[in-house]
Amino acid sequence: MGSSIRMGLLGVALSLAPVSAFAATHGVKADPGFHTAAAHQTQAQSREDARQGPAKYRLALSPKARGALADQKRDEVIADLRRIAAKFDDDSPKKPDLLLQLSEFYWEKEQYLYDREMERQDQAWAAHDAAIAKGQQAVEPKADHRGSDHYRQLAMGIYDRLLNQYPHYARRDECSFSSATTSMISTAARRPSPATRS
């Protein structure tokens, strides 16, 4: 094995000998730093020196603007999933997975809208409390969760459909869990609590 490697290297050296002889007779000068370890190290160091830290891929957005942008993209995905799922027959093995993905995006949309609704409600209560502190009459704000409730109902409808229409679906346990969790969390979050306002 060692002799075959030596013979291969000897062959490479002999094949390059005419090139070296040609270069010497025709006045071609070799680059003194070509293929030396020092030259490679210098080039690598100059590239490192030119580098100005890691690349930044984050958008300079506030959390609120970032959330709104994510919600816009979520709406696009929801529209695409609705369109794609409609093209599959109900007995297609791909249909349940598409529906489950759609339900998860509905749930994310519900959570986003619910957070925005709670922010508006907090602002309304702050305005109410400020008016009361000034001795003015103020009507207590009422919670409005119509937007988030719509998407919660859509998600729950898909979970129910998957459980009833696809009894052999491989992710049936996940559907049961998501359905129960969604129902429980939504009911608890929307139940008025006497400790909320004192």
pLDDT digits (tens, 9 = 90+) for 82-116: 999 999 999 999 999 999 999 999 999 999 999 99
pLDDT over 60 at 27, yes or no = no
CB-CB contact of 155 with 175 (8 Å):
no
- For residue 89, give the amino acid letter: D
Phi, psi for residue 134 in degrees, rounded to 5? -85, 0
Q: 22 is written with which tokens?
A: 């040609």
Higher pLDDT, 112 or 32: 112
Residue type, 127: A
Q: What is the pLDDT of residue 24?
A: 56
pTM for this entry: 0.64
Residue 143: pLDDT band (50, 70, 90) is confident
Confidence tier at 62 by pLDDT (50, 70, 90): confident
Contact 152, 146 (CB under 8 A): no
| Section 39-58 average pLDDT | 64
Q: How far is CA 151 from the centre of its chain?
A: 20
Cβ neighbours, 10 Å, residue 111 = 15
Contact between residue 81 and residue 108 where contact means Cβ atoms under 8 Å apart: no
Which amino acid would we find at residue 190?
A: R
Which one, of 154, 177, 176, 152, lies nearest residue 166 by Cα? 176
- For residue 192, what pLDDT band results from cuts at 50, 70 and 90? very low
Q: Tokens at residue 50, please?
A: 């030119």
The DSSP secondary structure of 63-111, one letter per residue, reads HHHHHHHHHHHHHHHHHHHHHHHHHS-TT-TTHHHHHHHHHHHHHHHHH
Provide the mean pLDDT of the chain.
79
